[in-house]
Structure 1
Amino acid sequence: MKHQKKICLLFFIYLFFVLFLFNLNIFSFYKSDLTQEYARLFTQAKKLQEDGEFEKSIRFFEKSLNIARKIPSETKECESLFKLGITYWNTGELKESSEYYKLTLKLAQKLNLKNLEEKSRKALEIYKLYEDGKKYWSQSEFEKSIESFQQAIHFAKEIESKEHELKCLRRMSISYDELNKLNEFYSLNEKALKIAQSLNHKKEEGRCLINIGNYYLKLANYSEALNYYEKALLIMLNLQNRLDEAICLTNIGIIYENMGNYERALDYLKKALEIDKQLGNDFYIAMDLNNIGATFRTKGLISKNNEDFLKALDNFYECLKLTRKTGYKKSEVEVLNNIGTVHTDLENYHRALEYFQSGYKLAEEIKDVKSTGMILSNIGIVHFYLGDYEKSTEYYDRAINLVGDIGGEKILWEAYLERAKAFEKQDKFSEAIESYKESIKTIENIRSRIKLEEFKASYLAADKRLEPYHNLIHLLVKLYLSDTESTYNLEAFNYLERAKARAFLDSLELSQVDITQGIDAELLNHEKELMKDISNIYTRLLAEELSREKKEAIHEELKNNEGKLESLTREMRIESPAYADLRYPEIISLVETQKKLLNTKTAFFAYSISEENSYAFVITRKDLRIFPIPPRDIIQKQVTDYLKVINDKENQNFESGHELFKILVLPGLDKKIKTIIFIPDDILHFLPFETLITHKEKRNWLINNYKIAYAPSISSLSEIIRHKKLSRTKPQMDILAFGDPDFGQLEKEENGEDIFQEFFSSSYFNFFRLKYSGLEIDKISALFKKTNTFRREKATEKQLKEHRLRDYKIIHFATHSILDDKKPARSSIVLTLDKDPTEDGFLQMIEIYNLELNSDLVTLSSCQTGLGRFTRGEGIEGINRAFFYAGTSSVLMSLWAVNDEASYQLMERFYFHLRSSESIMNALRKAKLEMINSGILSHPYYWAGFVISGKADEIIFSSPIKKLFIFGIFLLLAVITLIVLRNIRKRT
Structure 2
Amino acid sequence: MRLVKKDFEVQRLMLGIGVKVFLFCLLSGRVVGAEQLAETTPAEYRALLHAMGQQQDQLTASLIQTAFQQPEIYPAFFETGALDFVYQNRCTQGFAFFDSLYSSGKFQGDALGALATIRHHEHKNDESLQYLRQALEQRCQAMRPYELFVIKSFEMDTSAMALQFLTRLAALYPDNWRYRFALAVWHSFARQTEITCAMLSRLLNEGHKHWRVYSALGANLCYLGKNHEALTKYQEGLQYCETIADEEGRARMWHGIAETKFILGEIAEAKSALQQATDLAKQIGNQIFFCRLELTASRILIEEQQWLKARDLLISVREQAIRFAEGNTLLRTYYQLMDLNRVIGKWEEAVENTLKTAAVADSIGLKAYSVDMLSIIAVIDTEAGRYEQALLHLRQLEETARQRGTLLHRIPFLLGMARVLVALERYHEAWPSIIAGIALASESGNVAQLLDLQISKSAVLLHTGKLQEAQTQLRETIVSAHKNGKKLSWLDANVLLAEVYMRSGAVAAAQQLLTQLIGELAETPPYNNYLQIMARLAETYVQQNDLLRAIAIYSATADMIASQTHMLSPGSLSALSAEERAIYFGLSRAYLRIGEKEKALAITENAHDLVVRRKQWQARLLRNAEVDENERQRLTSADSLLLALRLQQAAVRSPAEALTLEGQIRSLSQQRSAILTHMLPALPAQTMSPADFHLDEFQRMLRERNELAIKFFVGPAHSLVFFLDGDTFATREIAVGHARLKELLTRINTLLTPTHDPKDSSYHAKLDTAAAYEAYQLLLADWIKGREATRLAIVPDDVLHALPFDLLVMTAPAQPTEFLVQRFVIRNGITFASLQQEAQPLWRVQSLLMLADPALPIATPPALSLHRDEGIFPPVGRKELEAVQKIVRVGRLLTGEQASKMLFFPALQTSDWLHFASHSVGRPSEPLFNEFILAIPPHATSPERAYAFEIFQMQLMTKLAILSGCETARGTFFNGEGFEGFVQAFRAAGTPSVIASLWKVDDHATAEFFKSYYEELLRGKSTNTALQSAKLKMLADTRFTVLDWAAFNYYGNDWQVEMPKAGMPLSYRIILITIIIALTAVAFFYSRRRLQIVKE
What amino acid sits opposite 2:382 in the alignment? E
Q: Tell me the equivalent position of 2:1013.
A: 910
TM-score by length of 2: 0.56
| Structure-1 residue corresponding to 2:538 | 420
Distance 1:168 1:375, change over 3 A: farther
Aligned-pair CA distance for 1:183: 6.7
Matches within 5 A, 1:885-904: 888-895=991-998
Aligned equivalent of 2:888:
784
How far did 1:679 drift? 0.9
Counterpart of 2:467 in structure 1 is 349
State which structure, 1 or 2, has the greater radius of gyration over its C-alpha atoms: 1
Aligned equivalents of 1:817, 1:249: Cα separation in 2: 29
The answer on 1:40 being equivalent to 2:144 is: no
Question: Structure 2 CA distance, aligned partners of 1:514 and 1:214?
Answer: 13
Aligned to 1:479: 594
Query: Displacement, 1:869?
Result: 5.8
Contact in 1 for aligned 2:346/2:926 (Cα 8 Å): no
- 1:49–1:321: structure 2 CA closer, same or farther, 3 Å change rule? farther
- Distance 1:690-1:102 versus aligned 2 partners, 3 A rule: closer
Equivalent residue letter for 2:693: E
Q: How does 1:745-784 map to 2 (within 5 A)?
A: 760=868, 774=879, 777-778=881-882, 780-784=884-888
Question: What CA deviation, in whole Å up to 9, does each residue of 1:697-720 have, x standing for no partner?
Answer: 9987655665421123346668x9
- Offset of 1:850 from its aligned partner? 10
Matched AA of 1:955: V
Deviation sequence 1:662-700 (CA, Å, 0-9, x none): 852653799796643211124433444345577989987
Show the 5 A alignment for 1:160-309.
223=343, 254=379, 256-262=381-387, 284-298=409-423, 300=424, 304=425, 306=426, 309=427
**Counterparts of 2:857 and 2:365, CA distance in 1:** 44
**Residue identity in the other structure for 1:41:** P
| Paired residues for 1:279-428 under 5 Å | 284-298=409-423, 300=424, 304=425, 306=426, 309-405=427-523, 407-428=525-546
Is contact 1:661-1:692 (8 Å) kept?
no
Alpha-carbon offset, residue 391 of structure 1 = 1.5
Q: 8 Å contact 1:276–1:285 — kept in the other structure?
A: no
Which residue of 496, 500, 505 corresponds with 2:608?
A: 500
What amino acid maps onto 1:733 in structure 2?
S
Instruction: Give the Cα–Cα distance (whole angstroms) in 1 for the partners of residues 743 and 817 of structure 2.
Output: 22
CA deviations over 1:450-482 (Å, ceiling 9, x no partner)? 443xx46742455x55333323222221112xx
Deviation at 1:892, TM superposition (A): 2.4
1:208 & 1:287 partners in 2: Cα distance? Answer: 30
Letter in 2 for 1:924: L
CA distance in 2: counterparts of 1:45 and 1:441, whole angstroms: 61
Partner of 1:613: 718
- In structure 1, give the amino acid aligned to 2:1054: A
Q: CA 1:744–1:515 in structure 2 vs 1: closer, same or farther (change >3 Å)?
A: closer
Equivalent residue letter for 1:223: V
- Given the alignment of the two structures, is residue 588 of structure 1 paired with residue 689 of structure 2, yes or no? yes
Q: Distance in 1 between matches of 2:515 and 2:866?
A: 50
Unaligned runs of 5+ in 1: 1-31, 67-79, 106-118, 175-181, 481-487, 520-576, 747-751, 960-988
Residue 875 (1) aligns with residue 875 (2): no
Aligned to 2:585: 470
> Could you say what secondary structure the match of 2:545 adopts?
coil
Percent same amino acid at aligned positions? 15
Alpha carbons of 1:243 and 1:400: their partners in 2 closer, same or farther (altered >3 Å)?
farther
Q: In structure 1, how many angstroms separate the alpha carbons of the residues matched to 2:67 and 2:744?
A: 93
Q: After alignment, is 205-214 or 394-403 more displaced?
A: 205-214
Alpha-carbon separation, structure 2, partners of 1:215 and 1:352? 42
Q: Which residue of 2 aligns with 1:681?
A: 797
CA contact (8 A) 1:605 1:616 kept: yes
Q: How many angstroms apart in 2 are the aligned matches of 1:457 and 1:835? A: 34
Give the direction of change, closer, same or farther, for the CA distance of 1:103–1:313 in structure 2 (3 Å limit).
same
Retained in 1: the 8 A contact 2:749–2:768?
no
Task: Map 1:564-583 onto structure 2 (within 5 A).
Answer: none
Please state whether the residue corresponding to 2:74 is helix, strand or coil. helix
Q: Which residue of 2 aligns with 1:626?
A: 731
Corresponding residue of 2:1024: 921
Equivalent positions of 1:433-444 (< 5 A) are 433-440=551-558
Cα displacement (A) at 1:607: 0.8
* 1:911–1:349 Cα change, 3 Å: same
Q: 1: CA distance between counterparts of 2:531 and 2:689?
A: 24
1:334–1:580: structure 2 CA closer, same or farther, 3 Å change rule? farther
Residues 886, 64 of structure 1: alpha-carbon distance in 2 compared, 3 angstrom cutoff: same
**2:599 aligned residue:** 491
Deviates more, 1:346-355 or 1:640-649: 640-649
* SS of match in other structure, 2:1057: coil
Structure 2 unaligned segments of length 5 or more: list them.
Answer: 1-65, 87-112, 119-131, 144-174, 189-195, 243-249, 282-288, 306-335, 628-676, 753-762, 1062-1096
Alpha carbons 1:682, 1:873 under 8 Å: kept: yes
2:971 and 2:978 in contact (8 A); partners too: no
Residues 169 and 339 (structure 1 numbering): CA distance in 2 closer, same or farther, change over 3 Å? Answer: farther
Question: 1:386, CA displacement in angstroms?
Answer: 1.7
Count of residues in Structure 1 that have an aligned counterpart in Structure 2: 785
Name whichever of 205-214 and 382-391 sits farther off: 205-214
| Residues in 1 aligned to 2:1014 and 2:851: alpha-carbon distance in whole angstroms | 12
Larger relative CO (CA 8 A, sep 6+): 1 or 2?
2
Distance 1:372 1:625, change over 3 A: same
- Please name the residue that 1:949 is paired with: 1051
| Whole-angstrom CA distance in 2 between matches of 1:245 and 1:99 | 31
Give 1:380's aligned amino acid: A
- The 5 Å alignment of 1:726-737 reads 732-734=846-848, 736=850
State the alpha-carbon separation in 2 of the partners of residues 35 and 388 from structure 1. Answer: 88
Give the partner amino acid of 1:257.
Answer: T
**Aligned equivalents of 2:345 and 2:619: distance in 1?**
25
Is 1:858–1:892's contact at 8 Å kept on the other side of the alignment?
Answer: yes
Distance in 1 (alpha carbons) for counterparts of 2:342 and 2:450: 25
Opposite residue 601 of structure 1, the aligned amino acid is E
Using the TM superposition, give the Cα deviation of residue 414 of structure 1 relative to its aligned residue in structure 2, in angstroms.
1.5
1:781 maps to amino acid: Q
Q: 1:172/1:652 Cα in 2 relative to 1: closer, same or farther (>3 Å)?
A: closer
- Give the match for residue 149 of structure 2: none
Tell me, in whole angstroms, the C-alpha distance in 2 between the residues paired with 1:214 and 1:885. Answer: 27
- Cα deviation for residue 920 of structure 1 reads 0.9
- Which letter does structure 2 place at the counterpart of 1:607? F
- Residue 82 and residue 326 in structure 1: after superposition, are their counterparts in 2 closer, same or farther (change >3 A)? same
Between stretches 35-44 and 156-165, larger displacement belongs to 156-165
Spell out the pairing of 1:72-87 with structure 2 (5 A cutoff): none
The AA in structure 2 aligned to 1:948 is: Y
1:9 is aligned to none
Quick one: distance in 2 between partners of 1:204 and 1:275? 34
Counterpart CA distance in 1 for 2:75 and 2:923 is: 59
Q: Please state how far the C-alpha of 1:285 moved relative to its aligned partner.
A: 3.7
Q: Distance in 2 between matches of 1:640 and 1:146?
A: 51
Following superposition, the deviation at residue 446 of structure 1 comes to 5.6
CA shift at 1:368, angstroms?
Answer: 2.0
